[in-house]
Amino acid sequence: MNTLHPPSDNPAEQRVFLNDRGTPLTRFGVRYLLRKYVDMAAGEETTLAEKSIHPHSLRHTTAIHLLKAGVDIATISQWLGHSGLNVTMRYARADIDMKRQALEQVFPDVMSSAKDQTIIAYDGGMLGWLRRL
């Protein structure tokens, strides 16, 4: 039992993630566990070995999924503990699916012809690029 972090009867003070010694999981512990399981998964999915996956990847992925699910940016910002909405707005700018949806609303005639096509390099100007999204 760790005397630095004795268990509390107050649910708001109880730790959710504990290590194998029963003490609060640190950022180093999270990094260790993530690396351990990414390495294990890379044995079956070899592309994982080429990726740089770290604890912040989990925060970013969670924020993107929350945005896609329709959670408002202010709630996501508070949940992630960001200092302001501008920090969280990076996630909104980062997701190509959300960009595609916005373009479909503004240019439905252009975007409807581009569905189920792959993105290729093309020197056909802006409309050509939009058609290939």
User: Are both 1 and 49 inside the same structural domain?
Assistant: yes
User: Are both 29 and 59 inside the same structural domain?
Assistant: no
User: Are both 12 and 24 inside the same structural domain?
Assistant: yes
Scan for tokens 């509390």, then name that residue: 8
The pLDDT of residue 105 is: 82
Least confident range of 2-16, 66-80, 114-128: 114-128
Residue from 102, 71, 101, 108 nearest 88 by CA: 71
Q: Whole-prediction pTM value?
A: 0.55
User: Are both 8 and 39 inside the same structural domain?
Assistant: yes
pLDDT at position 25 over 70 = yes
Q: What is the pLDDT of residues 56-81, one digit of tens each?
A: 888 888 888 888 888 988 898 888 88
User: Are both 8 and 46 inside the same structural domain?
Assistant: yes
What is the pLDDT confidence band of residue 126, given thresholds at 50, 70 and 90? low
User: Are both 86 and 118 inside the same structural domain?
Assistant: no
Angle, in degrees to the nearest 10, between helices 55-68 and 73-80: 160
Full domain range(s) for residue 74: 55-94
User: Are both 11 and 42 inside the same structural domain?
Assistant: yes
Other CB atoms within 10 Å distance of the CB of residue 76: 21
